[in-house]
Amino acid sequence: MDETVLHRKLAIAPWMDPALWRLPGVKPIPLEEWLVRDEVFAAQMQLRDKLIAERRGDVHALLDQGRPASQECLTHVLDHLAKDSGYTFSANHVARPDGIKVDIDHDAPLLTLGRLVQSDFCIMEEGPDGHVLTGAILCFPGSWTLAEKIGRPLFAIHTPVREYDQGVSARVQRLFDAIKPDKLLMRVNAIRHEDPSLYHPRRETDPVSVRRGGPDGKYIRSERQVLRRLPETGAVVFSIHTTVISIDRLSADQRAGLESAGIKSG
């Protein structure tokens, strides 16, 4: 399976914006900007369809406790897409902008979501040790595996990330606690990669070289991450829209900022 889909432009270069580049680096965005559809929609969706068909157990997980929030998330995504003229709705399915029809299955909400939009979705719900990952559709993992993270709280999920210390963990947990329904928060990251594959899993015990590649990687992998609290279940939805772009495709200003930002592989 070819797992490489490259963008021709980078919509947001987070290293150019100090507010985004400092952890946790969040900005409020309007509700209508929750999900985006970009130039590589058709190619990314074709890959998502194949991953869901061939690697379902790797890219999808849903605990029983996460089902109501996942179903609520699907409802809100459908409401969002109803305002996008590229989608055509019927009683039982939605036709995507690339012409592919997707059956709407409320009994498999995350699998349905995974075939509707470019974003991945993680469902985070309150637990005794902070918010816990209770469900996810993760077709484009950026150096982690869903099997190792499902059912774990925020800090445990980020254990291998050296920047994610106790101080950052506490700030992120406060952010999850404080977010209000329909008050969306966005953060954007950027990591230098040698491997441009969108499906890029890594186990916690794998070496750094498996995780991200060398510091002179020719690609930037960037994730546009949005936090949204669902009004009925109170769960926080963490959506992830992934861009992979060759460094030589960056604008002159974006390339000039790379060195000063010190963007390397982790």
Asked if pLDDT for residue 211 goes beyond 50, the answer is no
Kindly report the length of the chain: 266
- Residue 266's pLDDT is 40
**Residue 235 near residue 75, CB atoms below 8 Å:** no
C-alpha dihedral (93, 76, 227, 99), degrees to nearest 10:
20
Q: Mean pLDDT check: name the lowest of 18-32, 63-77, 106-120, 201-215.
A: 201-215
Q: What is the DSSP letter of 235?
A: P
Interacting residues of 202 by C-beta distance below 8 A, sequence separation 6+: 141, 143, 144, 145, 210, 211
- Residue 164's pLDDT is 46
Q: Which residue has the tokens 């150019």?
A: 16
Spatial distance between the Cα atoms of 177 and 174, rounded to a whole number of angstroms: 5
Q: Which residue has the tokens 């980078």?
A: 10
Q: What's the pTM?
A: 0.91
Amino acid found at 20: L
pLDDT, averaged across the chain: 89
Asked if pLDDT for residue 45 goes beyond 70, the answer is yes
